[in-house]
Chains A and B, each alone.
Chain A
Amino acid sequence: MAQELKVAARYMGPVTVLDLQGDVTMFAESELTRAYHQAIDNGAQALVLNFAGTDYINSAGIAIIISLLTEARAGAITLVICGLSAHYQKIFRMVGLTQYAEVYDSEDLAVQELKKRGIGESAPV
C-alpha cells in the first residue's frame, strides 16, 4: 500500500540530482539521509531534490526535508527542489519551506539556475 521511497543519484559535476521515487513519509528518512550524505561525500556542492516520481508527501516527510535543509544550510550546501505537483508546491509554500529552498517546476530550470550562480559548470562525471 505504502510505496517505499527509492532515491537514485545522478552526479553532474558539483550538482547532484536526487530522483525520489515513491512516498515521502516517515519511512523515507533512512533512504533520503543516506542518499544526501552519499552525495555530499562525493563532493556535491548543490543538490536538486527531484520529486517528479512522488505523488504522496505527508507531514513526516516534510519534517525530513526540513531536517535535510537544516543540515545543508549548516554545511553551506545549496539545496533546491523540483518536480513537485502544483498541490505540493502549495503545501511547501504553506508550511514555509520555500523561504529556505527554491522550488522549480522542472529539473532543467533548477539546474539552469544553479549554473547561473556558478554551480554546475564542470563536465558531468
Chain B
Amino acid sequence: MPTKRQLVELRIPSVFGYEKVAMATVTAVALRVGISGERIEDLRTAVAEACINAIEYGNGVGAEVPVVVTISTDARHLLIDVRDRALGNSKPQMGKMVDLQNPPTGPHGNMGLFLIQHLVDKVDIVCRANGTHVHMAMRLPDIVLH
C-alpha cells in the first residue's frame, strides 16, 4: 500500500477566476516533485477544469462556499483532490469530441471532464450527498521514484 503524504491544502472561493490560484499552487508543487514541461501544462488545465466544475456545478458559484484542493504524493504519483459541497443544481456530464452537426448543448460543451480524463494519468470522480470529489493522479517522473 503506497504511503500517501499530504503536502498542501488550499481553499478557494467559488468565484470564477480563482481556479488560477489552484493552477499556480499545483504548478509550484509539481515542479518541486520533478514534473515539468508539457506534463505541468496538462496538470494545470486538468486542475482548472476540476475547479471550474466545482465552482459552478458543485457550489453553485456561491462565493462563500470553498472549493478545497488537496495536493499529496504517494510513492508513484502526485495526487490532486478537488472537492465541493454538491450544492449546485446539476452535475457535470462527460462531454465528447466536437461535432458541429450536433453542437454541444451544455454551457461549456461539457468538455471539462473530457479534458481531465485525457490529461492526467488517472481520474476518479466520487459523488456523495455532501460533495463531489475529483481525484486526479499524475505519475512522478522515474528520476524521483525510489
Q: Which residues of A contact B52 (CB under 8 A)?
A: 58-60
B49 within 8 A of A: yes
Nearest CB on A from B111, distance (A): 4
Contact A69 B109 (CB under 8 A): no
A95 within 8 A of B: yes
Interface magnitude class on chain A: 20 to 34
Complex partner residue of A70 from B19, B100, B115, CB under 8 angstroms: B100
Q: Which residues of B contact A62 (CB under 8 A)?
A: 108-109, 111
Total inter-chain residue pairs, C-beta < 8 Å: 75
Q: Which residues of A contact B48 (CB under 8 A)?
A: 56, 58
Q: Which residues of A contact B111 (CB under 8 A)?
A: 59, 62-63, 95
Contact B45 A63 (CB under 8 A): no
Q: Which residues of B contact A (CB under 8 A)?
A: 16-21, 38, 41-42, 45, 48-49, 52, 95, 97-100, 103-104, 106-109, 111-112, 114-115, 118
Q: Which residues of A contact B (CB under 8 A)?
A: 1-2, 25-27, 56, 58-60, 62-63, 66-67, 69-70, 73, 85-87, 90-91, 94-97, 99-100
